[in-house]
Structure 1
Amino acid sequence: MQPVRGTHDLLPPEFRKHSRILNVARGEIERAGFEEMATPLMEFRSVFDRTLGDTSDIVTKEMYEIHDRMGEGNIVLRPEGTAGAARAVMSNGLTQSLPLKYFYQGSMFRYERPQKGRLRQFHQMGVELMGVKDPRGDLEVILLAWNIFNALGLESRVQLEINTLGDVESRNAYRSRLLEYLSDFQNELSQDSQIRLQKNPLRILDSKDPQDKEITKNAPKFSEHLNNLSKEFFGRVLEGLEAFQVPFTRNENLVRGLDYYCHTAFEFTTTELGSQGTVLAGGRYDGLFPMMGGPLIPSVGWAGGLDRIAMMLEDILMPRPYVMIAGSDPLMASALKLADLLRHEGFIVDMSYQTQIGKALKYANKISALGALILGEDESQSGVITFKNLDSGDQSTVPQGELVTYLKEMKR
């Protein structure tokens, strides 16, 4: 029995890393006034067809479709989080409750060739700041990401790359210039990019095809087609990053092919994960809600890959527990009661179900327990418990009523 190709089990060592990332993220994000929410794993395909477009790889190649026997329409497993969050705002009548500050986390699904850091079921966390058009909104969400990497001790191992896509006017001017440039290479582009050339040439800049990359290397730069408004917007974001001493690199090749993106685009990258070097990416997407049939709601956000960030963390060890050992089956209930008492006092107590003391102590040593709490027949009759310090080998007899105080004193 094997897991489905492109999926993997999150066993305790890796799950502890995911938990660590999410606990740190929740702390930073809640202090910034963001609230956690969740959308269904399933959405109608139209949510993504409208937003990601019929020329994106996600829509044309990567979405998992579900055959719905209830006849409710084309349903897919969500490939990303932003469109679902925007759909939730519209479905729940929240467009008049702006601004909205959301945090989410969960599984996403894309049908693609599995490789290191790229899975068919992957785990993301993300933030969305909806209803804020000020560039300080862009700055805030970038700072949130930076603070999370700092709190995880990864700030020296990631690099913030940032660019601007300008406003609609700037984008349209650039689109015309880019189309003019790419038309000279029409027959040399990949088959997918030849289709995109007619429908959305900006998406060619997202192409992973080596020949496309070579062609776009000398393409016109977005920065050459920015109007004053766009330059001012981006300048304020960069000034804010400098004021908060967040190091960044201007990357003019960093673009978003989707039409609803504008102004700021950014990524946190690393050199430690090979070709899958982007660990968190985001930007401003003012055009998303109108594309979904809703009102204009200026928004900005990001999504981070938990699987990739976890690959950068050192192993996280479980806190060392105590092991409760009962010397016989009839004493198991009394031992469990004592273990439960200690757990309520904040101690980590692993219950051994092996009544042979020697084997139980081997288990305690195997899991690097701090000590063994042994309740045998003699201890039970005398109202005491034997405590064996597994670091020093010392052994003590402690009245059961004083056990909590004894362990607290030892901890100090």
Structure 2
Amino acid sequence: MRVLLMAYGSRGDIEPMAGLAVRLRALGAEVRVCAPPDFAELLNGFGLPLVPLGPSVREMTTGAVTGAKPMPPQSMPQRAARVFASTYDSVAAVAEGFDAVVATGLIPAAAAARAVAEKLGLPYVFVSYFPTYLPSPHHPPLVWTRPHPADVTDNRALWDLNAEQMNELFREGINTHRASVGLPPVDDVRGHVFTDRPWLAADPTLGPWQEPADLDVVQTGAWIRPDDRPLPAELEAFLEAGAPPVYVGFGSMPVRDAEAVARAAVEAVRAQGRRVLLSRGWADLAVTGDQADCFAVGEVNQQALFGRVAAVVHHGGAGTTTTAARAGAPQVVVPQMADQPYWAGRVAELGIGAAHDGPTLTAESLSAALSTALTPATRARAATVAAEIRTDGATVAARLLLDTAGRQRPPA
């Protein structure tokens, strides 16, 4: 069995695919991953061949956030058409002989992956890593390029507007390229990409799917990549030198004025009487000067680290939220975009941490949030929830995928 995985996005889109890939290989499947070139080193570390998609996502997002490299002067439909075309070409070049395609990330890229699957007659699965990406009467859609109308509050009506907006942004570019490869046009872009039976790779405790709903959503649990790397010796020495520090990191989220953010974070953590562990990440957070109570770390095994910190301050990506929850570490989520406000809300609702009010932190605002996260009651609640987090999501998904592809494979 050969499975092609496509993820066009930040590290939070790629890590779960790596988790699924590892489990698929353990079950005897051959796996190929299509992803941005930023993640070649990550995937090569697991022996996963990478098919690079497009330019560096880190360069694009960092430039857009900091203003150092503005997006080219193209409309959203033009950019969508370009993403579809380049993704289709990259995926189609390697998809021959595969048995199934799994896709996530940007809508035009996922549409391209589905087009390749259609062309080759392969099963196609779309996966979301958080519930609110998928249409439901129980929650509104994400805000895209324009805010929801103030006079529309019904969730179904908002999802109808969401479908219209996706068609406006993506349909023309997608259909133009589909016609060029001999495929019929699609009327409903969102329904086409998501399908009637999307998968939800989120933990049922952290991100439950509510029923009844219009879609037949398959919730597998989160796809967690096994990680047994030891912590660096310098980090071990810092951890052993005092009380557990507060971890602060924003993963693959760049931030504007990273120096000010790092300075505010250090001040806030110190105000709570704690040491500081900064994760550089795509924000390039750094310790300034010689500060014995602060340490900066690069790429590190968060699964090994988070059980040894007092709290985790982060952007609210699905992977970081799940890893911190599994470790029983109290959290402060400073949401920047996309699914991150959802995870901030869930952390607060579950009582395992605090949701920071908005994406811009100050020393005062972060200190206030930490005062909630660092209480004994929050840590006790985090430990209780940790015991409920499932660890078999990638295995469930891998077995289901192999079973589905095996049943739909044409006879030899």
Length-normalised TM-score, structure 1: 0.26
By percentage of residues, which structure has more strand?
1
Length-normalised TM-score, structure 2: 0.26
The structure having more radius of gyration, on CA atoms, is: 1
